[in-house]
Chains A and B, each alone.
Chain A
Amino acid sequence: MFHGFQFVKMSSRKSKSNNLIHAEYLSQVQRILRERFCHQSPHSNLFGVQVQYKHLIELLKRTAIHGESNSVLIIGPRGSGKTMLINHALKELMEVEEVSENVLQVHLNGLLQINDKIALKEITRQLNLENVVGDKVFGSFAENLSFLLEALKRGDRSSSCPVIFILDEFDLFAHHKNQTLLYNLFDISQSAQTPLAVIGLTCRLCLTEDRSVREVLQKHFNVSKNLRSLHMLLMLALNRVTTSHPFVTAADLMEANQLCSMDSKANIVHGLSVLEICLIIAMKHLNDIYEEEPFNFQMVYNEFQKFVQRKAHSVYNFEKPVVMKAFEHLQQLELIRPMERTSVNTQREYQLMKLLLDNTQIMNALQKYPNCPTDVRQWATSSLSWL
């Protein structure tokens, strides 16, 4: 929905003021679109999650109106619309009159309340019970929580206000010590003291560590097309819209796509000095010969010496400390990594390292490397020294 967007007839004598109006409308369009792409304002329609929505809203209504306790865990990958779903549901719920007067909401986030003590303080704050609690000291978490919920009981002590707890980044709460908060919340929801709805949102498929799943997800993350990356792409294209360039063109989208899909490691290799490139090539050869066994600086230096001492070379035979400084720069950029934490017992030159680039990445980066000396490039393709 565009607010206040009107068509303006272009008249030649009023072209200057038309330009100003044009700019103003453009600014408004930018504002609205930016809000949608960046701030995820809750006006959007729900696509593809109608079933889940119906289920959720029904559950919430049962807690809010009929006093039944419920718990829901919403699982989905990042950017799949979990927060949007619950926000939409809560908005619709609060439009019902008897709900908006009675029901309380507590929004928690695993990134913010990193332990149960902070969580309890936050709950107290959000229920506006700070004055009621005052300076009281409680023996246990359970005592504190039930005190808070008691305080919410209506004057005639007959029933309590329903409370909806929304726990974002739910998996982080599951990692708290003894899982006290979760345990108590579910305990209370079982014991029918207060009607509670506990809604958890998480992107973890299972709440235990699964290294292989994590690795696979990480590898394919860049390739998968999710809604957020689409937003980013469109936002980039939108950036190029100005008063002199008022429409998004195909070229804008293509440039935006290029910006989005850069290979960052290749970019970093592009900015290395020739000496550092030579060291990477030396490491590549060591990896090829010794089948990815870890290496140390002395080995790389020896390999580099073999190249430099050949008859035709454009790279000066640098002193060892200079080569060491280049090696350390590569470590600082995290292109190479020590196999274990720096141990006290080995000197820097003999510490075992691993290269974090594979052969295809190296060869691709070399193609794009500006002004690469020819013999360096030739050395990269073959380590044989009979050339």
Chain B
Amino acid sequence: MPHLENVVLCRESQVSILQSLFGERHHFSFPSIFIYGHTASGKTYVTQTLLKTLELPHVFMNCVECFTSRLLLEQILNKLNHLRSSEGGCSTHITCETFNDFVRLFKQITKAESLKDQTVYIVLDKAEYLRDMEANLLPGFLRLQELTDRNVTVLFLSEIVWEKFRPNTGCFEPFVLYFPDYSIGNLQKILSHDHPPEYSADFYAAYINILLGVFYTVCRDLKELRHLAVLNFPKYCEPVVKGEANERDTRKLWRNIEPHLKRAMQTVYLREISSSQWEKVQKDDTDPAQLKGLSAYTHVELPYYSKFILIAAYLASYNPARTDKRFFLKHHGKIKKTSFLKKHEKITSLVTLQLLTLVGHDDQLDGPKYKCTVSLDFIRAIARTVNFDIIKYLYDFL
């Protein structure tokens, strides 16, 4: 497949292993193949691309999307049904409640002319979620070829290693294939591949080099790096666009972009702000230090009484209830009816800022219960501003 190499980069070895495992259309292959590797190492992409390019009959399922066995089994059968009757016509929706029915219906469907003499592939992506479904599903899929007596191969894609899947009493062992992580050279190659046409490849490659220099020690996830590359490229080009530098002034470009990338690591990388907010910041050229995080992490100025509600909520959330008497003589940890003005409004605003969250059901009879979700550092900062030594009142610090 010559054009496959242009579409799938740095994965030649895995593609050739998979191709040789599949063999010719009518050949039998391993009943089950387990592919593992880090996220964004190309497992889903390579498998999908290969099956589509070779036009092998296959069904692609995501175990996060189909999180119950019924959803999973029904979707597989219905997709297979579509495959076999590819000449239009709306066929009836197949229902399937148990794995027993699945095996029976699967045998029926694969008797069709268009599916009879070739290997049918079932791909289960995010296969680690299978472990949380019904117990017979995973061992059943591992030996689907034997149970159905058909030419079918099941591929499992996961980032968790096989040893954590194996049931206690053993099972049919799949063939385990490892998708290695991309080396820094590979990452460079793949990221440089999507350079926009207006700029030269070298210019973009230099940018990717700087990006990797900042982020590589923290994150090697291709998807995240690609996202960051796309987001921050306009800022990198800014000096060139404004005419302050040309494409070869690497020092100037570097000095412009490096603090920006460091700032990105503390905000957009952590999902503290959304990417659209980040893009807006770049456009408006505001000082990145003024960014407000989604969770109001460092830049919130609360009203006086709200701070005390927050402190009380923190103590109530993290001190065991029985220790409250020890700390407080007059009132216990629960937020009781007091003469705080507009208490309910203040609590609601704290919930909006995501400093408190609602715990339990809405329809609890004795009022909603809340929990404080800020970290220790944050609450200490708040407590300091009201001269309250919170450490003295925390059980864990006794």
Contact surface of A with B, Cβ cutoff 8 Å = 27, 30-31, 34-35, 38-40, 77-78, 83, 109-114, 118, 122, 171-172, 203-204, 214, 217-218, 221, 228-229, 232, 235-236, 239-240, 242, 259, 262, 264-265, 267-268, 270-275, 315-316, 318-319, 321-322, 325-326, 332-334, 344-347, 349-350, 370-371
Q: Are B218 and A275 neighbours in the complex by a CB distance under 8 Å? A: yes
Q: Are A38 and B173 neighbours in the complex by a CB distance under 8 Å? A: no
Residue of chain A at shortest CB distance from B134: A114
Contact surface of B with A, Cβ cutoff 8 Å = 17, 20-21, 23-24, 26-31, 36-38, 41, 98-100, 103, 134, 136, 139-140, 143, 145-147, 151, 159-164, 166, 168-173, 175-178, 180-181, 183-184, 216-220, 265-266, 269-270, 272, 317-318, 320, 359, 371, 375-376, 396
- The one of B17, B30, B269 in contact with A235, judged by C-beta atoms closer than 8 angstroms, is B30
Residue of chain A at shortest CB distance from B151: A39
Q: Which chain A residues border B36 with CB–CB below 8 Å?
A: 264, 267-268
The majority secondary structure among interface residues of chain B is: loop
Q: Which chain A residues border B217 with CB–CB below 8 Å?
A: 273-275, 315-316
CA of A112 to CA of B103 in the docked complex: distance in angstroms? 8
Q: Which chain A residues border B166 with CB–CB below 8 Å?
A: 218, 221
CA of A70 to CA of B48 in the docked complex: distance in angstroms? 51
Q: Are B100 and A112 neighbours in the complex by a CB distance under 8 Å? A: yes
- The one of B139, B220, B371 in contact with A272, judged by C-beta atoms closer than 8 angstroms, is B220
Q: Are B181 and A27 neighbours in the complex by a CB distance under 8 Å? A: no
- Chain A nearest CB from B136 CB (Å) reads 5
CA of A229 to CA of B99 in the docked complex: distance in angstroms? 27
Q: Are A344 and B359 neighbours in the complex by a CB distance under 8 Å? A: yes
CA of A100 to CA of B36 in the docked complex: distance in angstroms? 47
Given pairs A39-B28, A334-B161, 17 additional interface contacts (CB within 8 A): A30-B23, A34-B27, A38-B31, A78-B170, A111-B99, A111-B136, A112-B100, A217-B170, A218-B168, A264-B36, A270-B181, A316-B217, A318-B265, A322-B270, A325-B270, A334-B160, A371-B184
| 25 residue pairs from A and B, CB less than 8 Å apart | A30-B27, A31-B26, A34-B29, A38-B29, A78-B170, A83-B146, A112-B99, A112-B140, A122-B100, A204-B169, A214-B168, A221-B170, A239-B17, A239-B21, A267-B178, A268-B36, A268-B159, A271-B38, A271-B220, A275-B217, A316-B217, A321-B272, A334-B164, A345-B320, A346-B318
Q: Are B98 and A38 neighbours in the complex by a CB distance under 8 Å? A: no
Q: Which chain A residues border B23 with CB–CB below 8 Å?
A: 30, 34, 239
Q: Are B41 and A273 neighbours in the complex by a CB distance under 8 Å? A: no
Q: Are A347 and B375 neighbours in the complex by a CB distance under 8 Å? A: yes
CA of A274 to CA of B214 in the docked complex: distance in angstroms? 12
Select the residue from B99, B162, B371 with max chain A CB neighbours within 10 A: B99
The verdict on A268 contacting B170 (CB below 8 Å), with A262-B176, A326-B218 known, is: no
Q: Are A171 and B99 neighbours in the complex by a CB distance under 8 Å? A: no
Q: Are A264 and B28 neighbours in the complex by a CB distance under 8 Å? A: no
Q: Which chain A residues border B181 with CB–CB below 8 Å?
A: 270-271
- The one of A27, A77, A319, A346 in contact with B24, judged by C-beta atoms closer than 8 angstroms, is A27
Q: Are A113 and B270 neighbours in the complex by a CB distance under 8 Å? A: no
The majority secondary structure among interface residues of chain A is: helix
- Chain A nearest CB from B54 CB (Å) reads 16
The verdict on A264 contacting B161 (CB below 8 Å), with A271-B181, A322-B265 known, is: yes
- The one of B31, B171, B266 in contact with A321, judged by C-beta atoms closer than 8 angstroms, is B266
- Chain B nearest CB from A69 CB (Å) reads 26
- Chain A nearest CB from B171 CB (Å) reads 7
Residue of chain B at shortest CB distance from A318: B218
CA of A221 to CA of B169 in the docked complex: distance in angstroms? 11
CA of A235 to CA of B175 in the docked complex: distance in angstroms? 10
CA of A239 to CA of B218 in the docked complex: distance in angstroms? 38
Q: Are B146 and A333 neighbours in the complex by a CB distance under 8 Å? A: no
Select the residue from A112, A171, A271, A346 with max chain B CB neighbours within 10 A: A271
Select the residue from B151, B170, B272 with max chain A CB neighbours within 10 A: B170
Q: Are A112 and B218 neighbours in the complex by a CB distance under 8 Å? A: no
Q: Which chain A residues border B162 with CB–CB below 8 Å?
A: 264
Q: Which chain B residues border A370 with CB–CB below 8 Å?
A: 183-184
- Chain B nearest CB from A149 CB (Å) reads 21
Residue of chain B at shortest CB distance from A242: B20
- Chain B nearest CB from A20 CB (Å) reads 15
Q: Which chain A residues border B31 with CB–CB below 8 Å?
A: 38-39
Q: Are A113 and B100 neighbours in the complex by a CB distance under 8 Å? A: yes
Residue of chain A at shortest CB distance from B360: A344
CA of A229 to CA of B272 in the docked complex: distance in angstroms? 48
Q: Are A109 and B147 neighbours in the complex by a CB distance under 8 Å? A: yes
Q: Are B375 and A270 neighbours in the complex by a CB distance under 8 Å? A: no
- Chain A nearest CB from B18 CB (Å) reads 10
- Chain B nearest CB from A137 CB (Å) reads 20
Residue of chain B at shortest CB distance from A232: B175
The verdict on A35 contacting B28 (CB below 8 Å), with A114-B98, A204-B169, A273-B218 known, is: yes
Q: Which chain B residues border A221 with CB–CB below 8 Å?
A: 166, 170
